[in-house]
Amino acid sequence: MEFRDYYKILGVDKSATADEIKKAYRKQARKYHPDVSKEPDAEKRMQEVNEANEVLSDAEKRAAYDQLGSRYQAGQEFQPPPDWGSGFEFSGRDFGGAGGDYSDFFANLFGRGGAAAGGPFRSSAGQGGYQMRGEDRHARILIDLADAYHGAVRTISLQAPVADDSGLVVVREHSLKVQIPRGVKEGQHIRLAGKGSPGSGGGPAGDLFLELSFRPDARYRVDGRDVFTSLPVAPWEAALGAGIETPTPSGPLQLKVPAGSQSGRKLRLKGRGIPAPAGQDAGDLYVLLEVVLPPADSDAARRIYEEMARELAFDPRRQNGQAKGV
């Protein structure tokens, strides 16, 4: 997937105001609209123009896109980074739905639904002189896996993209203290009542929904409430068995490696995954053994390997049912 330069597609500078973006869109639409255009690729170009306008004409989408765009150029190979969108506060609660003919690039950033889906990148405001409840807001935040095991209180900083009077996007930052409940899962939402957009006409404020994601950690992989990790072991620990202190998200524990273990063996620690609310089962912790060979980087080490070769008469290919020498 290639990174798309929406500013280049619309033919505007990155400092363009909302009015300049609107004018550029109208100009491109007159040129490429399939009903009137003579261009051979009019339909494809019009889809690109519509997509670019969908992002740049919306203050929230534009601010998030600008932060990402500072790291990429048009045509560059692209995958959204794991922390994409975290810490940005947007209007609405959920994002997605059907509708709109969007590229894979757009869908990976904003979902398939676009503004028409009423998702977290969509802005709207109450009208009229009557009371109206404020709009709900949405943000994705990153927490440590250990927070799901123990619970935590965290102070988070959120950035809310808005358009100023000239139509340029500015980001306003504010901080909140958040209680992370023990046993939360990836994708779970925490609702902060009254922390959304203010109401109009004296109406109550909306709510803020925080979607939780685990901060990337090379040591662990999470699937629901189950947690997976790898443990390096020495050949003699795998062959003879051993008790090894093993780090886990809930703290170190003593793991028994059965004698005769091979690299790739998976040990299940029942109930040692992410905790669960009352009445539900906690996840499990799965430990994948990785047998690591000592390097033959000294005379003593080489002699030991040579002795093993003579005394053990071990052929790993025959052990796996393969003909010797294949």
pLDDT at 90: 77
Beta-carbon contacts of 183 under 8 Å, excluding residues fewer than 6 positions away, are 148, 151, 274, 275, 276, 277, 282
Residue 322 has a pLDDT of 52
Predicted pLDDT at 235 = 95
Instruction: Report residues of the chain scoring pLDDT below 50.
Output: 93-99, 112-128, 323-326
Q: List, in sequence order, the alpha helices (H) in 81-167.
A: 104-110, 145-150
Question: Per the structure block, which two tokens stand in for 92?
Answer: 């609405």
Question: Do residues 111 and 101 lie in contact, with contact meaning Cβ atoms separated by under 8 Å?
Answer: no
Three state DSSP letters for 153-168: EEEEEEEEEEECCCCC
Residue 2's CB is within 10 A of a number of other CB atoms, namely 14
Q: How many CA atoms lie within 13 A of 218 on its CB side?
A: 0
CA 241 to chain centre: 38
pLDDT of 21: 92
| Residues 284, 290, 291, 292, CA torsion sign | negative
Copy the structure tokens of residue 223. 């699937």
Which is nearest to 66 in space by CA: 51, 79, 85? 85
Amino acid at 174: H
**pLDDT per residue over 113-159, tens digit each?**
433 333 333 334 444 456 788 888 888 899 999 999 999 999 999 98
Give the Å distances, CA to CA, from 29 to 17, 18, 23, 53, 116. Answer: 18, 16, 10, 10, 19
Q: What is the DSSP letter of 115?
A: G
Point out which residues pair with 229 in neighbouring strands.
220, 287
Q: What are phi and psi of 8, to 5 degrees?
A: -65, -40
Task: Tell me what pLDDT residue 268 has.
Answer: 96
pLDDT value of residue 230: 96
Question: What's the whole-model pTM score?
Answer: 0.69
* pLDDT at res. 111: 63
